[in-house]
Amino acid sequence: MRIATTIFLTDETVTPVRLARELEQRGFAGLYLPEHTHIPVSRRTPYPAGGELPREYGRTLDPFVALGQAAAVTERITLGTGITLVAQHDPVGLAKQVATLDHLSGGRFTLGVGYGWNVEEAADHGVEWSTRRELARDRLALMRALWSAEPTAYEGEYGSVQASFAYPKPVRGPRGPVVGPRTLIGGGAGPKLFAAIAEHADGWLPIGGRGLTESVPKLRAVWEEAGRDPKGLHVVPYAVLPDPGKLAHYADLGIEEVVLQLPPAAEPEVLRVLDGYAAYL
């Protein structure tokens, strides 16, 4: 099983360069970073985990800039977003960012996609909350048009692009309906999410990794009904606090990669946790 990591990198934590080097040297498989452009102080939207919103949410580094630094000092580890709030981006610009990072890293990038939870943050980006999933789907389709091998136009409900020259291209070739880097969708298990994964992604980022005994077979059924290759589905439990029994259970479910949560801390504390996680490598 590949053991990757995620962390809220901020202006107060270990740097992307130091962390990426340590992960590669220690044999970890990858680094995934979350995204929040800002956190409005009104805090009308409750924190999904309950209680006060942790300090790091309002201090996160831009994941693409941070992963670009990580790519420059590594050769092996995968680099991903966990997750990119696609609805909050201009899709033409985001397509360029993603393709550039994937190209410069030699195809090591994974685009983790999510729909968000903070209504106020999304509103400042002009996102209508009730249609954010449809908006994200539309923007991903536009991005796939720009990533296509030949100039391809796209006309959607929320945006369009002319047939264009758009380079660099992501390294991976098409996989069924998916064009671009490995694409995983985060979110809670359910018919809408699983349909979206089967339609335009390579797999699922289930946060915390609970309930997979029931949900993974359901996702596999939807995936195969959509005509997707059964061997092509990636299920990657995300932000997991590990123990041997949990990882063995994932392996029994056919899961080949897990993303462990690191603390949003300075270098000494992060390295101490990595020392503990080394037992799972």
Whether 278 and 3 have beta carbons less than 8 Å apart is answered as no
Contact (CB, 8 A) for 100 and 168: yes
> Sign of the CA dihedral 256, 261, 266, 271?
negative
Let me know: does 146 contact 92? Beta carbons within 8 Å. Answer: yes
**pLDDT for 157:** 97
User: Would you state the structure tokens that stand for residue 153, as one six-digit string?
Assistant: 């136009």
Residue 94 to residue 81: CA distance in whole angstroms:
13
> Angle at which helices 16-26 and 267-277 pack, to 10 degrees?
20
* Token pair in block for residue 101: 């990072």
Averaged pLDDT score across all residues of the chain: 97
- Which pLDDT does position 269 carry in this prediction? 98
Q: Are residues 80 and 152 in contact, defined by beta-carbon separation less than 8 angstroms? A: no
Nearest one of 196, 246, 190 to 218, comparing CA atoms: 190
Residue ranges in the chain whose pLDDT is less than 70:
none
Confidence at residue 209, expressed as pLDDT on a 0 to 100 scale = 86
The whole-number pLDDT of residue 68 equals: 98
Q: Which of 78, 81, 62 has the alpha carbon at shortest distance from 10? A: 62
The pLDDT assigned to 43 comes to 84
Compute the distance between CA of residue 101 and CA of residue 64 in angstroms, rounded to an integer.
Answer: 8
